[in-house]
């Protein structure tokens, strides 16, 4: 979901949300969903060893030791942690949750009263349901046994706001301090789990979380020791620079002060329109840290936000957008030999009811990511015209049920 483009159900990190609100812990539906998630976690086959048990090890940590690290409503930033094991004990996967952005003070004040504006109602443990968290070597060959982190998205500005004093909006105090949630997270992981002594760190995200990977990856890399191998993994975060959408992000950089993590060269080249540095087709050319993109040519959210309703109804218009996106990704990102990508032809945004497979190798996106990480290829994906109803099919009934919850 991006800004107010989609008032639809969003499936992220094992919770079902609608209209920006989460199921309350006291709700019978919440407990039913929790039970179903636990049953599936215990009964679905993920692979060998103790993999199924990993879904039960997730714990929440509030950033209470970092007083500036607060959400829009002033509640503390929060992350979920699942410990690694075996060869993954010294490796970290840090996932940034998605969920749009707010485009003015009033919008942010409204958002402050929803799931995406605070953590007061967050559960002490959840199931991490995005494919990036899969605890199976087959499904997630690189990161299956790593330490997994999911940072809750509650600042409405891609974790980048720098205003240290709250803004009063119609009697409501609104905090723009996502940057301090970012730094607080890394400091807390260092103190609790020795992040700075890790060998590998992958920063990832989907939707708004994926957007921040393109926009902030180099800055995140600079926050860790030079001896740590750092890479990015962005799902559904490569947007085009469209006049009907990009200007809406102006408040993120000006109102919230969200420029500190953006590329300095990009900011210099885009004075007065710094919000363009939040757009993948603009900022990808400045990236230095290795990044692997998982992106649909026909992303359902981009078809809502970055084209007119008339265009979204036209196969030819959607196809033209998809071709433009693929070209931009190839020229702006993949022109750097350090980068890789899996571009699929699914109608999807973030998680799906099945996984796409590379046309040539048959690899899934996470298998392709592992191959790229090991130097066994850079470009993967599908070359199917829009629409493709079979591009995200999957042969595993258990996985399909888990993703649909």
The string of pLDDT tens digits covering residues 142-201 is 999 999 999 999 999 999 999 999 999 999 999 999 999 999 999 999 999 999 999 999
pLDDT at 273 over 90: yes
In DSSP notation, 229-295 reads EEEEEEES------TTTGGGGHHHHTTS-TTTTS-HHHHHHTTT-GGGGGSHHHHGGG--S-EEEEE
How many other β-carbons are positioned within 10 Å of the β-carbon of residue 25?
Answer: 12
Mean pLDDT of the chain, nearest integer: 87
Token code pair at residue 68: 């500036």
Q: Which residues lie closer than 8 Å to 280 by C-beta, 6 or more apart?
A: 211, 214, 234, 237, 238, 239, 240, 329, 332, 333
pLDDT at 22: 40
pLDDT at 320 over 50: yes
Distances, alpha carbon 15 to alpha carbons 11, 23, 28, 126, 243, in Å: 6, 8, 14, 8, 33
pLDDT at 109 over 60: yes
Helix (H, G, I), strand (E, B) or coil at 320: helix
- Average pLDDT, integer, range 8-33: 37
- Give residue 194's region: left, alpha or beta (phi > 0; psi -120 to 50): left
Which segments within 52-112 are labelled E, that is strand? 59-62, 78-82, 91-96
- Tell me: the pLDDT tens digits for 211-259? 999 999 999 999 999 999 999 999 999 999 999 999 999 999 999 999 9
In DSSP notation, 117-148 reads G--TT--S-----SGGG---TTTSTTTTTSEE
pLDDT > 70 fraction of the chain, expressed in percent and rounded: 83
Instruction: Grade residue 40 by pLDDT with cuts at 50, 70 and 90.
Output: very low
pLDDT at 352: 75
Give the predicted TM-score (pTM) of the model. Answer: 0.86
Helix (H, G, I), strand (E, B) or coil at 347: coil
């Amino acid at each position: 979901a991006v800004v107010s483009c989609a008032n639809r159900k969003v499936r992220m990190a094992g919770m079902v949300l609608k209209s920006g609100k989460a199921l309350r812990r006291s709700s019978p539906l919440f407990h039913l969903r929790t039970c179903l998630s636990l049953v599936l976690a215990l009964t679905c086959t993920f692979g060998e060893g103790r993999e199924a048990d990993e879904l039960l090890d997730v714990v929440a940590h509030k950033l209470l030791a970092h007083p500036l690290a607060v959400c829009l409503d002033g509640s503390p930033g929060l992350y979920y942690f699942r410990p690694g094991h075996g060869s993954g004990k010294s490796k970290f996967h840090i996932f940034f949750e998605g969920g749009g952005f707010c485009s003015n003070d009033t919008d942010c004040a409204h958002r402050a009263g929803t799931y995406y504006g605070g953590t007061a109602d967050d559960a002490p443990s959840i199931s991490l349901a995005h494919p990036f968290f899969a605890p199976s070597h087959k499904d997630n060959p690189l990161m299956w046994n790593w330490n997994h982190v999911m940072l809750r998205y509650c600042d409405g500005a891609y974790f980048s706001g720098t205003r240290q004093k709250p803004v009063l909006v119609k009697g409501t105090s609104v905090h723009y301090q996502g940057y301090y949630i970012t730094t607080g997270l890394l400091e807390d992981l260092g103190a609790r789990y020795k992040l700075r002594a890790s060998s590998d760190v992958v920063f990832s995200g989907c939707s708004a979380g994926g957007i921040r990977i393109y926009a902030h990856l180099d800055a995140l890399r600079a926050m860790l020791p030079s001896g740590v191998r750092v890479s990015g993994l962005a799902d559904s975060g490569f947007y085009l620079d469209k006049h009907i959408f990009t200007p809406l992000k102006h408040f993120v950089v000006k109102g919230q002060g969200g420029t500190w993590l953006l590329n300095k060269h990009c900011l210099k080249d885009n004075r007065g329109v710094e919000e363009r540095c939040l757009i993948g087709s603009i900022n990808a050319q400045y990236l230095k840290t290795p990044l692997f993109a998982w992106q649909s040519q026909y992303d359902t959210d981009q078809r809502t936000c970055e084209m007119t309703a008339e265009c979204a109804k036209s196969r030819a218009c959607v196809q033209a957008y998809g071709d433009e996106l693929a070209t931009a990704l190839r020229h702006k990102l993949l022109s750097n030999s350090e980068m890789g990508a899996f571009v699929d032809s699914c109608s999807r945004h973030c998680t799906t009811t099945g996984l796409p497979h590379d046309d040539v190798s048959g690899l899934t996106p996470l298998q392709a990511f592992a191959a790229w990480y090991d130097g066994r290829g850079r470009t993967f994906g599908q070359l199917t015209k829009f629409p493709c109803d079979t591009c995200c099919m999957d042969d595993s009934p258990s996985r399909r049920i888990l993703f649909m919850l």
